Amino acid sequence: MSDELIPQIYLISPPELSLDVFPDQLKSLLDQYDIACVRMALSSTDETVISKTADKLRDVCHNADVSLVIESHYKLVEPLGLDGVHLVDGARSVRDVRAALGADPIVGAHCGTKRHTGMNAGEAGADYICFGPVAASTLGTQEPVEFEVFEAWSQMIEIPVVAEGAISLDMAEKLAPVVDWFALGSELWDAPDGANAALDAFLKRIS
């Protein structure tokens, strides 16, 4: 990624959400900002809950011409009319999922903190590679990804790279020259002044 380019924003849904509230909250962001993609990342494994949520969020996203991907459940991509899947097991299932979905749907892969895992996922057919967390968290046990992983990726590899997890304003400013997308979830939804104000703050720091 060129230093002159501003990273795009990739939104991650809350793991639990109200269909009476969140679709309007999401629409507000999509109407106001240039969003690259939205990931439906529900904690529920109830297919009825997932389907109802997908119906609501798909309408919001597609009306704004924004792609909606689902976390892990790649077999639901076609039935629910989604744009792709975000895999969380590194490179392990990318090749099989790509074969199952075909060439068109988005296949993204979260690859933890290791560049070689990301390279393997890219070679297997992933459309983007996600690394994270980018900083230590009291809620997480994984060591943060080193800045050099993003830096080397941006210099040598064309597949878009995404930073995710524990992204502070200072960290966003530091990573902006070496990432293509910032994946933001709780950083926005849990912000005391609301998601729109929080996203404004991020955009000011990375612009």
Residue 64 CA, chain-centre distance (Å), reads 17
Contact yes or no for 91/98 (Cβ under 8 A):
no
- Look up tokens 């909606």; give the residue: 68
**Domain assignments of the chain as residue spans, ordered by start:** 8-206
On whether the pTM is more than 0.85, the answer is yes
Q: 94-101 and 115-124 are packed helices; what angle lies between their axes, rounded to 10 degrees?
A: 30
pLDDT at 2: 38
**Amino acid in the structure at residue 67:** S
- For 55, other C-beta atoms within 10 Å of its C-beta total 13
Q: What are phi and psi of 9, to 5 degrees?
A: -105, 135
How confident is the model over 12-36, as pLDDT tens digits?
999 999 999 999 999 999 999 999 9
Distance CA 1, CA 201 (A): 22
In terms of Cβ atoms closer than 10 Å to its own Cβ (0-12, 13-18, 19+), residue 50 is middle
The CATH number that domain 8-206 falls under is 3.20.20.70
How confident is the model over 108-142, as pLDDT tens digits?
999 999 999 999 999 999 999 999 999 987 665 67
